[in-house]
Amino acid sequence: MATIRKKLSGCYRRVLIFLLVIVAIGLVAVGVVYRQVGGGEGARYWMAEHALNRVEKHLKSENQRPDGISEEQIVENFQRVREATQRRQINLVSLYAALKSYQTEFNVKKPSTPEIQAFLRTLADTILENTDSKN
C-alpha cells in the first residue's frame, strides 16, 4: 500500500511539473506578443485594426454592399482609416463606436446606400488632424 502512495505521489508531481512548464511557456509567449504589438496602447490599436478589417470584409461582400457604393470607394475609405490607425492619429473611442454601430445595425440586414455613406463619413471623422503641422 505504501508503494502505491509513492507511485501516485510521484505521478502527481510529474503532472504538476508538466503543467507548470506549459503555463510558463504560455506566459512567455503572451509576453513576447504583448511587446511586439507595443504594450497596452499598441494592443488597443492592433485590435482596432483587426476590427476594421472584419467590418471592411463584411461590407465588401456581395450581399452586403449596396449598389450605389463601389468597392473601390469602400477600400479607399478603410485604407485611410487604417493608415491613420498605424500613425496613431485616430480617435479610438469614436472608431470603436462607429464599428460597433455598423455591426449591430447591419449584421443581419443589408444597408442602404445613404446608410453606408453616413457610416463612411463617420469613419472618416474618427481620423484626427495632424498635430505636427500646427507646431
Query: 83 and 115: one domain?
Result: yes
d(CA 73, CA 79): 10
- This prediction has a pTM of 0.67
Same domain, 21 and 50: no
The residue with cell 485611410 is 80
Q: What is the pLDDT of residue 21?
A: 96
- Farthest-apart Cα atoms in the chain, separation: 82
Question: What residues contact residue 52 under an 8 Å CB cut-off, 6+ apart?
Answer: 78, 81, 82, 85, 95, 99
How high is the pLDDT of residue 133?
A: 43
Assess whether 47 and 13 both reside in one domain: no
Same domain (yes/no): 64, 127: yes
Alpha carbon distance 98, 95 (integer Å) = 5
Residues 21 and 78 in one domain: no
Residue 86: CB atoms within 10 Å: 11
What is the predicted pLDDT for the residue at 1?
58
pLDDT at position 24: 97
Residues 57 and 20 in one domain: no
Q: What is the pLDDT along the chain (135 residues), one digit of tens a residue?
A: 567 666 667 778 888 889 999 999 999 999 888 888 777 778 888 888 999 999 999 888 877 788 888 889 999 999 999 999 888 899 999 999 999 998 898 888 888 889 999 999 999 999 987 655 443
- Alpha-carbon distance values, 40 to 37, 43, 49, 95, 108 (Å): 8, 5, 14, 17, 33
Range of the domain at 17: 1-36
Answer yes or no: do 47 and 26 share one domain. Answer: no
58 in the same domain as 28? no
